[in-house]
Amino acid sequence: MTSSNIKEISDLSPDSGLAIINSKAPFSSNNGKDALDVALIFGSFEQKVSLFFQGDGVYQLIANQDGSLVSIKDYLKTFSAFEFYDIDDIYVCQQSLVNRQLDENFHINDVQVLPSSEFASALNCHKHVLRF
Amino acid sequence: MKTLAVVVTTPPYSHLTTSALTYVEAALVAGINVIGVFFYQDAAMHANKDISIASDEYQAIDHWQRLHKEYQLPLHICITAAEKRGIVCDSMGDVQVNKAFTVSGLGELVELTSKAARLVQF
């Protein structure tokens, strides 16, 4: 937990748009891609959207994966376009990384790793939540 | 006026869909303004007129149609989710899309989310 994280979260108003929770591994189901489609649409309509990665969903952020090896369109590449859709608030559950022995080696920048309580507070700042 | 939007992601043959139906009907009976139900992922299958579920099983599609008729409840399906599941949604495809459902896109979900006081996902 860094002081910049504390500031960032308190900056979120209690009515901070839509939160999308990603809770599934990237290539085990369509959930990750379906969640991405929703995020990009909200972004293109200039609606505020934040992304939360929790449980097996944290695997979606791990670097050096290639879905094409298992004949799946590598939608993870599209994550690098988030900034063009003004999707700046991306949170990862630290405990989920620890439980899976994953390093904070992500394929996109500006991801905020948060302890469970801060992760929950950040989520609580959103008016609506969708979970995939 | 309380406004509610609902997102359904489960297929018509899933028992989880009954929770969504029971919830939406309870809201309508309580006088809550349900501004729309958005069918995403496997829930898009609800709009397939050709689906036939054994008569002794729960008829989720019939119940959605009933709520649509009784309460003018808007039922939106995601076109991308529907087409990927074999539901033809072009103008020729009207024969396959159940009339109670409106073919929409994710833009409709944005609209519902911005209008609704609450958004509930099943």
Q: In chain B, what is the greatest distance between 2 CA atoms, to the nearest angstrom? A: 39
Assigned CATH class of B3-102+112-121: alpha beta
Q: What pairs with residue A21 in β-bridges?
A: A52, A131
Q: Could you tell me the CA-to-CA distances from B17 to A25, A110, B11, B48 in Å, in that order? A: 24, 38, 7, 15
A66-115 confidence digits (pLDDT tens): 988 999 888 999 999 999 999 999 999 999 999 999 999 999 999 999 99
Using the Cβ of B72 and the Cβ atoms of chain A, whether some distance falls under 8 Å is answered with: no
- Stretch (H or E) spanning B42: none
CATH architecture of residue range(s) A3-131: 3-Layer(aba) Sandwich (3.40)
> At A9, which helix (H) or strand (E)?
helix A3-11
| Out of A30, A38, A131, closest to residue B109 by CB | A38
What pLDDT shows up at residue A102? 97
Name the pLDDT band for B95 (thresholds 50, 70, 90): confident
Give this prediction's pTM.
0.91
Q: From CA B13, how far away is CA A89, in angstroms rounded?
A: 36
pLDDT of residue A113: 98
Instruction: Report the share of chain A in percent with pLDDT over 90.
Output: 81
Instruction: Give me the residue label for tokens 């559950």.
Output: A93
Residue in A10, A3, A39, A2 with CA at minimum distance from that of residue A122: A10
| Confidence band of A3 (pLDDT split at 50, 70, 90) | very low
Q: Which of B4, B24, B78, B79 is catalytic?
A: B78
ipTM given for this complex: 0.91
Domain spans in chain A, listed from the N-terminal domain onward: 3-131
Assign B75 a pLDDT band (cuts: 50, 70, 90).
very high
Q: pLDDT band at A9, cuts 50/70/90?
A: low
Catalytic (active site) residue B78: yes
Distance from B113 to chain A by nearest Cα, in Å? 8
Domain coordinates in residue numbering, chain B: 3-102+112-121
Closest-CA residue to B6 (of B57, B71, B52)? B71
